[in-house]
Amino acid sequence: MRRFLDEDLTGAEFREVDLTRARFVGVVMDDAEIDGQVGRLVVNGVEVMAFVEAELDRRHPVRLLLRSDEPDDLREAWRQLRPEWAGTVARVRSMPAGTEHQGVDGEWSMVQTLRHLVFVHDSWFRRCVLGLTEPFTTLGVGPPVVMEQVLGDAEPPRPTLDEVLAVRERQGAEVEAWLADATPDRLAATAPVPDDDRWPPYARGRTVRQCLGTVLNEEHAHHRFCVRDLDTLAREDLSAP
């Protein structure tokens, strides 16, 4: 176990780290941010995640639908998620040229975020929900080890926003068509993950509902991240001389 004792970590950034069972004792945390998959979190003796989850549900009611196992709720969740992205696309088009390729604090740009969702669709919907073995879309963005397999020695693509949106439109139609016929039995069935060593390796044995949930949750979470970063870029534009 690593211990940090009497350390000044002002301005430190912990990215893609596992802090399970970490303890912060006698610390000063002013203007700190935590963004990630957080389970039980006790602050000064108070378990705070119930408050955080309730506030997120208040701000984003679609989260209630995303947790449901009812096909009608999942269909409604998808109907809400797609217009949210459409509105954000319209917003970025109204901002200075190139905004869609700008990241904030090392995060993905909007185009990179959408490319990641292309990869999520290929991984968790096409392979795990539909059971297809087709190659991943080359403009998707996933873990480096997977992208090396996808691209080989080819130069990574640099697609425009419109090129990514065209792929997203086709993928969105696939999800909508599948959800139209979804039933509780289909959702509860074991996911038809192909029997090979391709990504995602830990999906085997999950239900269709769990795999579909990954797609829907990623759509919502990354939209929230994208809006957050566009807000930051908009403030920077306003404060620029």
Q: Phi/psi of residue 2, each to 5°?
A: -85, 140
Residue 58 included in any domain: no
Q: How many domains does the chain have?
A: 1
pLDDT for res 116? 96
Expressed as residue numbers, the domain containing 228 is 66-239
d(CA 226, CA 108): 8
What pLDDT sits at residue 152?
76
Q: Is 42 helix (H, G, I), strand (E, B) or coil?
A: strand
- Residue 34 has a pLDDT of 85
* 101 domain residue, yes or no: yes
Q: What is the pLDDT of residue 141?
A: 92
- Length of the chain measured in residues: 241
Q: Give the number of other Cβ atoms within 10 Å of residue 28's Cβ.
A: 9
Q: Given this model, what pLDDT does residue 230 score?
A: 97
Q: What is the DSSP string of 63-129?
A: HHHHT---HHHHHHHHHHHHHHHHHHHHHHHTSSTTGGG--STT---HHHHHHHHHHHIIIIIIITT
Determine, yes or no, domain membership for 181.
yes
Is the Cβ–Cβ distance between 89 and 223 less than 8 Å?
no
> DSSP class of residue 139?
T
The answer as to whether 28 is a domain residue is no
Give me the CATH number covering residue 183. Answer: 1.20.120.450
pLDDT < 70 stretches in the chain: 238-241
Considering the entire predicted model, what is its pTM? 0.88
